Structure 1
Amino acid sequence: MAGNDWINSYLEAILDVGPGIDEVKSSLLLRERGRFSPTRYFVEEVITGFDETDLHRSWVRAQATRSPQERNTRLENMCWRIWNLARQKKQLEGEEAQRMAKRRLERERGRREAVADMSEDLSEGEKGDTVSDLSAHGESNRGRLPRISSVDTMEAWTSQQKGKKLYIVLISLHGLIRGENMELGRDSDTGGQVKYVVELARALASMPGVYRVDLLTRQVSSPEVDWSYGEPTEMLPPRNSETLIDEMGESSGAYIIRIPFGPKDKYVPKELLWPHIPEFVDGALGHIIQMSKVLGEQIGDGHPVWPVAIHGHYADAGDSAALLSGALNVPMLFTGHSLGRDKLEQLLRQARLSRDEIDSTYKIMRRIEAEELSLDASEIVITSTRQEIEEQWRLYDGFDPILERKLRARIKRNVSCYGRFMPRMVVIPPGMEFHHIIPHDGDIDTETEANEDGKSPDHLIWAEIMRFFSNPRKPMILALARPDPKKNLTTLVKAFGECRPLRELANLTLIMGNRDNIDEMSGTNASVLLSILKMIDKYDLYGQVAYPKHHKQNDVPEIYRLAAKTKGVFINPAFIEPFGLTLIEAAAHGLPIVATKNGGPVDIHRVLDNGLLVDPHNEQSVADALLKLVADKHLWAKCRANGLKNIHLFSWPEHCKTYLSRIASCKPRQPRWLRNDDDDENSESDSPSDSLRDIQDISLNLKFSFEGDKNESRDNFDGSLDSEDRKNKLENVVLTWSKGVARSAQKSGSTDKGDQNSNAGKFPALRRRKHIFVIAVDTDPSAGLSESVRKIFEAVKEERAEGTVGFILATSFNITEIRSFLISERFNPTDFDAFICNSGGDLYYSSLHSEDNPFVVDLYYHSHIEYRWGGEGLRKTLVRWAASTTDKRGEKEEHIVVEDEETSADYCYSFKVQKPEVVPPIRELRKLMRIQALRCHVIHCQNGRKINVIPVLASRSQALRYLYLRWGMDLSKVVVFVGESGDTDYEGLLGGVHKSVVLTGVCSSASSQLHANRSYPLTDVVFYDSPNIVRTTEGCNSSDLRASLEELQIFKG
């Protein structure tokens, strides 16, 4: 391809894709222009969305090459690269279109099935009424910003909470969080979310009825960050401390609590925190339990004061909040801030990276799964705008706006939802602190001129900005954002540069974070900044554009004041803005706004009516709006007045009123055995000797016979009740009976306090063990499991004889299968302190009091995990799914999944898998359940030959946290033994503060196939280099296991 200088025209078009500086009309669509340019068409239509910086650098290098032949070769390579990018983009667009079409069909099918299930008990008239109610409901809410702002509502809520002192837990994991001098913009993890959660914590703690607010985050003790981020605790003093000082208690107020997890000496980005989430959960659980006891002594009459809600912010904190909510059995709230599916769609549209490359860079699939789990677990999802609900959350399997309205209508009618649940989406715009805002008396022009020279210490930032301008008295157009491509600052500079009237009337100020050296900035941010600097030079904007290198957080109010003083305008030109907190800040300082019409600014503008909305892709639209506000002083004054008049609607007190009212609407939940109700008059009745030993006979006799035959008493009991009623009545009978026995014993004096304490020490034995070994090896019960158990027993033979080491068996088998396994392999039930059965769906303890029934069921555990359990409605849907999974490769269809009624339980529905090699991936079943609003935890187990479906927040790892909460079992003294692979809940067993021993060679083949079709790789969530994880040699013996335990410092070598 000789003499290919023609490509220069393409490269020049890349650098200058818009019209000339004096051209009045502009449009991104070439077909709408008067003349057609093939060069511009190629650039704008074919490679739109690609990073121009790389192409420009290549072009510069090619132009600088002296040799014509080498130069032509480089230019030719660039031409092929552009062509290849265009083909790649079309291919990715086609694949994504197919994927979206499939998703729409799946959602519609799931919605139809859910509606059909729920329509069984409605008459035709009721069905029609429901539809009309839903449509009316949708119309009535459309376009409104739902807020609870009336004084009557708040007074009613306050009267209900009178005498209550609430404990609220907020979680925000990534970034650098501290109360003062926040380093916003330091990196992509330390942005607006950091400021939001700190101010939310401070504002909530100042509300009546709230005693304490903890903001949990990561402790960072790294030399690359300030020492303050390594402090375990930081108090957030209230802004109005003078009025609240008398009302504060010993531990009241707002606090930042920094939990150590992950690499101790590194500040790592959020994408690399996923493997360390379980460690945070264990640390946070310890803090909350301790704080609940402290608050109980202060304000709870000795009873623990549990959080009224746990609120996760962003996907990583949402994942953590879900696990903590399940471990503590308290309500969960979630705020996404930025959503993974929305980000994935944007990146795919740009077509710079494939789906696999996006996942590798951003760990996007793990993030999406965390957001789906947050939908499963949350009572309430808080959003900033309605756009977030209608355009972003609806992309998720776990949320369907149409089905959500149907479920809400059924709840209002007091009609069963057949086990289906949907979180309540609530729009609560972020609040703002007004303490630092200086109100203006009269017109801004009347402000004293004493400090106009900018030399006052309070106005140093004014001088820093004004030094850029040749005429600093012109109105200032202010933009405050990171130099990120999605913030669209280049379009703003281009619009300003190409509009001569605007340049003559106004100056432009760009506050783009802090920087020392452009070469030290991240590649993307540096590219944006360089593009802006080149445009400033291209349009000769020197003396008209300010871009200071540094500013402090407390300088921001002064920057707004400067812009308002000059009768300027604030602009947010982002392509999509999730909310737009800076728009509220600008309005509070009396600045009219120009903002993108995509996202949160639409809702803000609807409330404040203080500016104009524009298409961020259209430079002419941006320039026209800015010029209109700057030139029309009457319009400017009207927008300013509107903003100041309505800004109180975005104050933190207003936000907290709505927030606390929503929390009050949640059904209170807390650990069942610690509830302070009238039935539990004496705390001794909750001791382990009473609450469990007294249950054992009736609970097991009603449930099953270990000889394998159904008990007659159960048959009679089951005959008159359906599954849900049977479960509830069984639980009530057992609990009432056990409490009566306990009280009778106390009244008769047969059990004195000393005897109770003695029994409490013996049952369960977990309390007195120095170490607990959890055997969670997922192999066939008659082969590898028994061999592993014997080796572990032999490795700690002396400690086992002394009673300092206890054992827990954690498997996917039910208690009958465990009983058979123990008998066949000649183990004694008392060799183990506890049995986690059905993949975490049941919990039993071994008992010394009965040889016939050597197991005691923990019914409190059932009440702990039953949150959002779908019951019979879930079972019917699972059976229907199993019937649809057939193998059609042979002469006749064969069912590959069938219900296993023998091994199913009230909180575990089991299914046999006849052909594991052809069964659909477990993620497909999980997706199907979520689409139908059925919340559950689906686990593929026993080498792929069984599927267990248990409550959504139940698992083997969560059962260990329950034992910590209930019996004080120190998780840091727990050792979990696992194989090289295992069931699909395997990842949960490796993370946390406990130690893990991986038995090399065990579960290395068949089980590993279960993880082949995961949504994300196991390495994204398991930190195999952790010092808490040790691998044995293949075919290890008891001596090798002992050495592994010594390496973990369980025993001294």
Structure 2
Amino acid sequence: MSRPHPQGESAETPLYILMISLHGLLRGHDMQLGCDADTGGQITYVVEMSCALAAHPQVGRVDLLTRLIEDADLAADYAQAEEPLAPGARIIRLPFGPRRYLRKELLWPHLDQLVDRCLHFLRQQGRLPDLIHSHYADAGYVGQQLSLLLGIPQVHTGHSLGRPKQARLLASGRKAHTIAKQYNFGRRIAAEEEVLQHASLIVTSTRQEIDDQYGMYQQADRKRFAVIPPGTDTSRFSPPGRSKLPVAVQALVDRFLSDADKPLILTICRPDLRKNLKGLLKAYGENKQLQQQANLLIVAGTRDDISGMEASQRQVMTELLLDIDRYDLWGKVAIPKVVDQQAIPDLYRLAARRRGVFVNAALTEPFGLTLIEAAASGLPFVAPDDGGPRDIVANCRSGLLANTLDSDQIAHTLLALLGDSKQWRQRANAGLAGVWRHYSWSAHVSQYMKEVRKLLRRDRKRWRRQLASHLHSGRSALPVVERALVSDIDNTLIGDDQALMVLIDWLRSQRDKVAFGIATGRTLESAVRIFKQHRVPMPDVLITSVGSEIHYGAKLTPDKGWAQHIRHLWRRDALAAALAELPGLRLQAAEHQREFKLSYITHPQRMLPMQEIARHLQHHRLQAQLIYSHGEFLDVLPVRASKGHAIRYLAYRWGLPLQAFLVAGDSGNDQEMLIGDTLGVVVGNHSPELAPLRGLPQVYFAEAAYAAGILQGLSHYRFEQAFDNRLSQEEHHHV
């Protein structure tokens, strides 16, 4: 593999940016916005931003990475591994988890597999990205893992956040256990906290996001935030002018209306409870003056049959239709079933031509991309007095704010615009100028690149280059092998001497094909003593001290690149002092402590839950991995150190697919290396901590204990057979 370009070194070395946006249906044309709760404004944002970035002279390439979906109910586009977007920009789709479409809350168990697929993809590119930009919490988690493993800075955009959403749902009367199950808040919020702690730059659309939403998180360091409002495609969204609008677009709306010439109140959103369509319909339905003055057009996604929609969307649409009937609004409300995305700009122009108003009635609005689209179309708007709309109104002066929790206020604010032709014209004209000044993609990318250049100039650039040279220095001194067996020592490799001898004989017979490695919580010296005691040949690679050290072969050559990699954010003395404040933790003997590891014996009845220990460290602004095993040991490591991270580092360095690694373990500190694309073997004498892994597609639970369990795993995976053909067939398919 070729050496990487120096990261962000000069304008002569254009940047390679890896964008990650995982959920929803993402393609570069005819986007199906509103088809479900996950396919909304974020999809437009990441596609248009990728194209705009690729056009910048200092950017050479943008890869927008998303999920490959093979689902008979969806277009074949989403199963296309690569899709060009613009010169220098493309969509890359990688498979992970089931082939079918999944809503975002169900993706979490499969994200570790995607990390492995991303590593394999990046190995094939011949160059590492200079920057990873993740969108939303799920991609944030994947981006963080890649950033940790490869030493590449991460930029993150949250789009929406778990804590504020959880708070709103609880305030609305929803039960905590119900929403936790539906939205997977525990995993999402934990990931958001970790991304906030790690990312080099957090991009927000408004200052209010930082103050009110990110302010709910412990790790919100304001120095790493940048307010960069998104752009809008002004080539698509523009005022109506004198040209005629497409007859089909007018017919789509007018067939619902008794008097189609009246001004048109337009709303465009997903059928989501938070979008408050019920409150908008109440505002219209209970105000006769508003009904006399204007028609209402509701574009709420695309549907074939309401009964076939997901439960939350079905509830919204059913209540809408019932309310239209209850208020007897037939002939006054248009609610088309299918609206092609290509028609959306013409709907804005139709409303502007009829001197109507756009309305966003959402309960809360972090930004409000539709408001910018309306302003760019010469259409004044009414929006929530919350979050992003405040900034948009301040910048563009193109709309009015209202308390959208109050339907009467929505109605009165709409009437204020509809009934004042002078104010309508002023706001329509101001919106056109304001969008060009503040919300064009060129303005967004210009500000974004300034922040990125500052980021890449920081002191971290030096060690990132050093790490890159280690990662790309060619194959290691290990034999050129096809596969690798990596095992824990205690209670996995050691424990059954007879089975151990059989395993050693097998390894010797496969010497030219299979590398032998160990991954242990033991120190290097302790591991070497065990090998001599049990007559185990020296492994090709030794991952010791719970993944905080890597050494090679009989000479025990240290991997200096790994030490440099994991040194990031490691404050050993401060961590020891903070943990000394907590009950139930006692430092192990001095020989178990290392430069990159603190090891404790725990008193389970007295120690705090792991989440509380993590929060305690966060309170002290300390970052570390906490690994609890055997119900009595706690290891504290750098955030980049673990057995799993070490194996993925080696996979990258050796150029071996992770599917060529068979890993064996028995306890909690083995869990991370067992999940993902590695072939995991849990020996029969495993600790209860690994029970939750049962059922994962690439984790085999052996019946036999110790080395005999490893031998069963070798047989289960047919590890003795040549892998080249099987791997080439499986790399692009789901497990």
Could you say which residue in structure 2 is the equivalent of 1:258? 93
Q: Does 1:825 align with 2:613?
A: no
8 Å CA contact 1:774–1:975 kept in 2: the answer is yes
- Whether contact under 8 Å (1:276, 1:991) holds in the other structure is no
Q: Secondary structure at the match of 2:373?
A: helix
Are positions 1:982 and 2:668 aligned together? yes
Q: Report if the CA contact (8 A) 2:290-2:415 is conserved.
A: yes
Q: Give the direction of change, closer, same or farther, for the CA distance of 1:390–1:793 in structure 2 (3 Å limit).
A: farther
Partner Cα separation in structure 1 for residue 329 and residue 108 of structure 2: 45
Paired residues of 1:775 and 1:789 also in contact (CA < 8 A): no
The 5-angstrom pairing of residues 631-710 of structure 1 reads 631-648=419-436, 649-667=438-456, 675=466
Tell whether the 8 Å contact from 2:82 to 2:93 is kept in structure 1 after alignment.
yes
Q: Could you tell which deviates more after superposition, 520-529 or 488-497?
A: 520-529
Q: What is the TM-score with the length of structure 2 in the denominator?
A: 0.91
1:508 to 296, 308, 331: 296
Q: Give the C-alpha shift of residue 789 in structure 1.
A: 8.3
Take 1:360 and 1:621, find their aligned partners in 2: how far apart are those partners? 35
Q: In 2 relative to 1, CA 940–511 (structure 1 residues): closer, same or farther, beyond 3 Å?
A: same
Counterpart residue number, 2:131: 309
Contact 2:37 2:272 in 1 (8 A): no
Q: 1:786 aligns with which of 482, 494, 503?
A: 494
Return the offset for 1:440: 5.1
Tell me which residue corresponds to 1:881. Answer: 579
CA contact (8 A) 1:271 1:362 kept: yes
TM-score, length-normalised on structure 1? 0.64
C-alpha distance in 2 between matches for 1:473 and 1:551: 21
Letter in 2 for 1:359: A
Instruction: Report the residue type matching 2:502 in the other structure.
Output: E
| Aligned 8 A contact 2:578 2:620 in 1 | no
Partners of 1:798 and 1:534 lie apart in 2 by 71
Alignment-derived partner of residue 846 in structure 1 = 553
Q: Once the two structures are superposed, what CA deviation does each residue of 1:665-707 show, in whole Å capped at 9, x if it has no partner?
A: 1146679696599xx9xx9x9968xxxxxxxxxxxxxxxxxxx
Hey, what does 2:683 align to over in structure 1? Answer: 999
Query: Are 2:731 and 1:1029 equivalent residues in the alignment?
Result: no
Give the SS at the match of 1:177.
Answer: coil
- Give the structure with higher Rg (CA): 1
Match of 1:227 in 2: 76
The alpha carbon displacement at 1:534 in A equals 2.2
Question: Offset of 1:879 from its aligned partner?
Answer: 2.3
Any idea what the Cα deviations from partners look like across 1:285-319, whole Å, max 9, x if unmatched?
1212221x1xxxxxxxxxxx431110111111111
**Does 1:287 find its partner at 2:109?**
no
Q: Which residue of 1 is the match for residue 726 of structure 2? A: none
8 Å contact kept, 1:170–1:310: yes
State whether residues 173 and 217 of structure 1, in contact with CA within 8 Å, keep that contact through their aligned partners in structure 2. yes
Q: Secondary structure at the match of 1:666?
A: helix
Check conservation: 1:312, 1:321, Cα contact below 8 A.
yes
Identify the residue that residue 359 of structure 1 maps to in structure 2: 180
Q: Which amino acid aligns with 1:642?
A: A
Shift of 1:540: 2.0
C-alpha spacing 1:798/1:897, structure 2 compared with 1 (3 Å): closer
Is residue 665–residue 683 contact of structure 2 (8 Å, CA) maintained in 1?
A: yes
Query: What does residue 811 of structure 1 align with?
Result: 520
Residue 908 (structure 1) shift: 1.9
1:945 correspondence with 2:654: no
Residue deviations 1:926-972 (CA, integer Å, cap 9, x gap): 1111222212212223x243322222122111111111222323322
Bigger helix fraction: 1
Tell me the distance in 2 between the aligned counterparts of 1:661 and 1:923.
37
Is 1:860–2:561 an aligned residue pair? yes
**Aligned partners of 1:312, 1:1047: CA distance in 2, in Å?**
37
Unaligned runs of 5+ in 1: 1-158, 239-252, 294-304, 409-423, 442-446, 689-759, 848-853, 887-895, 1009-1017
Structure 2 Cα separation of the partners of residues 489 and 603 of structure 1: 23
Q: Does the CA-based 8 Å contact 1:903-1:910 persist in structure 2? A: yes
What is the CA–CA distance in structure 2 between the aligned matches of 1:187 and 1:996, rounded to whole Å?
A: 35
1:133 alignment counterpart: none
Q: CA deviation at 1:818?
A: 1.8
- Aligned in 2, Cα 1:501/1:311: closer, same or farther, shift over 3 Å? same
Determine which of 904, 915, 929 is the counterpart of 2:593. Answer: 904
Matches within 5 A, 1:767-778: 767-776=479-488
SS in 1 for 2:336: coil
Alpha-carbon distance in structure 1 between the residues aligned to 2:648 and 2:467? 22
Q: Does the aligned pair in 1 maintain the 2:359–2:381 contact within 8 Å?
A: yes
State the 1:569 CA deviation: 0.5
The Cα shift of 1:917 comes to 3.3
CA distance in 1, matches of 2:278, 2:69: 35
8 Å CA contact retained: 1:322, 1:953: no
Contact 1:328 1:671 in 2 (8 A): no
Report the secondary structure of 1:508's partner residue.
strand
Distance of 1:1049 and 1:201 partners within structure 2: 43
Secondary structure of 2:257 counterpart:
coil
Say whether the 8 Å CA contact 1:883–1:897 is kept in structure 2: no
Instruction: Work out which of the residue numbers 273, 276, 279 in structure 1 matches 2:110.
Output: 276
Matched, 1:371 2:192: yes
Matched with 1:10 is none
CA contact (8 A) 2:352 2:377 kept: yes
Residue 235 of structure 2 is aligned with which of 408, 432, 435?
Answer: 435
Task: State the alpha-carbon separation in 1 of the partners of residues 290 and 397 from structure 2.
Answer: 23
Whole-Å Cα distance in 2 between the matches of residues 606 and 825 of structure 1? 74
1:834 and 2:541 aligned? yes
State the shift of 1:462 in Å.
1.3
Partner of 2:571: 870
Instruction: Give the letter for the 1:1048 counterpart.
Output: Y
Amino acid at match of 2:80: E
Q: Secondary structure at the match of 1:325?
A: helix
Change (3 A) 1:935 1:558: same
Q: Deviations over 1:372-431 (max 9, x none)?
A: 2211220011112222211221222222xxxx46xx5xxxxxxxxxxxxxxx01111111
Let me know the Cα RMSD of the aligned residues: 2.6
Given candidates 24, 31, 34, the residue that maps to 1:182 is: 31
* Structure 1 residue 432 displacement after superposition: 1.0
Match of 2:477 among 748, 764, 769: 764
Q: 1:567 aligned to 2:256? A: no
Q: How far off its partner does 1:272 sit?
A: 1.8
The DSSP-based 3-state class of the residue aligned with 2:546 is helix
Deviations 1:712-769 (A, max 9, x none): xxxxxxxxxxxxxxxxxxxxxxxxxxxxxxxxxxxxxxxxxxxxxxxx7xx632x522
Q: 1:47 corresponds to which residue?
A: none
Q: What is the Cα deviation at residue 788 of structure 1?
A: 6.1
- Of 190, 199, 203, 1:382 maps to 203
Alignment CA distance shift 1:671-1:995 (3 Å)? farther
Deviation at 1:523, TM superposition (A): 2.3
- Alignment-derived partner of residue 1048 in structure 1: 717
Residues 811-867 of structure 1 deviation map (CA, whole Å, 9 limit, x = unaligned): 222223223333443434x2x1111122221111123xxxxxx42211111111222
